[in-house]
Structure 1
Amino acid sequence: MDYIEDRPCLNRLFVHHPAATSFIEFGGLNYVVDAALTPRDGDTLCYEIFGELAIGKMMGGCIVTPDGDVIEGDALSEVIVMGKVALTITQHYDWGSPTI
């Protein structure tokens, strides 16, 4: 009995603020976004700009997009930060392909 462990619970491992956590799909990846975490320089953010969902890095008070564009100054007033990306989930198994 000393060596028996509980089954892993992904919620317990990765969701620290359940009421503030969202699961977002964007660009072929899945993100766990926590709105309760305070973003700092270098953090990846999920945000909305002009009604479009996007992911970018916070750098020096600006947001840098994956394309290398920088959102700064007056354009930041159009940004709604959804939260800090706490986890990125990638899929390694293709459920639709046959196994050989």
Structure 2
Amino acid sequence: MGFPSPAADYVSKPLDLNDMLGVTPGDTVLVTNDEGFILLSKSSKPKQGDTMLIQFCGSTQFAKLYGSAFITADGEAIEGEALDDAVVIGKVVNIILSTRMDDIPTI
């Protein structure tokens, strides 16, 4: 028998992305081509200014919710009758950027 190791005071639990990102059962992690990963919530209620993942005119794209319209990344406003063609997939909760992109240096 010996004495307890003083290093035991500094032992921490392993990193868990589910805890760090606040993943709930209604969330989905999707891989994107250009950004890395997104955490998408299908159960949380969107607020003004939230980024949403939508399908519109045969493409999937990110859009911000402002008033009763979606504003896409290229500045197009989807409003009025055009909203009938938009399908909301979910609210973007977190974005995990890829570090392997050459056009966005990290150093």
Structure 1 residues 32 and 52, CA gap change in structure 2 (3 angstroms): same
Give aligned pairs, total.
93
2:84 to 77, 81, 86: 77
- Deviation, 1:25, is 3.3
After TM superposition, the structure 1 = structure 2 runs for residues 21-100 of structure 1, keeping only pairs within 5 Å, are 21-26=27-32, 28-29=34-35, 30-93=37-100
- Deviation, 1:2, is 3.6
- Residues in 1 aligned to 2:58 and 2:100: alpha-carbon distance in whole angstroms: 32
- Residues in 2 aligned to 1:40 and 1:27: alpha-carbon distance in whole angstroms: 26
- Residues in 2 aligned to 1:62 and 1:27: alpha-carbon distance in whole angstroms: 26
Q: Once the two structures are superposed, what CA deviation does each residue of 1:39-76 show, in whole Å capped at 9, x if it has no partner? A: 11010001111332110100112100011100000111
TM-score, normalised to structure 1's length?
0.81
Checking the alignment, whether the CA contact within 8 Å between 1:26 and 1:54 is kept in structure 2 is no
- Residues in 1 aligned to 2:75 and 2:33: alpha-carbon distance in whole angstroms: 16
List runs of 5+ in structure 1 lacking aligned partners.
Answer: 95-100
Larger Rg: 2
- Residues in 2 aligned to 1:27 and 1:41: alpha-carbon distance in whole angstroms: 26
Coordinate RMSD, CA, aligned:
1.7
Structure 1 residues 11 and 56, CA gap change in structure 2 (3 angstroms): same
Checking the alignment, whether the CA contact within 8 Å between 1:64 and 1:71 is kept in structure 2 is yes
Q: Once the two structures are superposed, what CA deviation does each residue of 1:15-46 show, in whole Å capped at 9, x if it has no partner? A: 4323x222223450121111111111010001
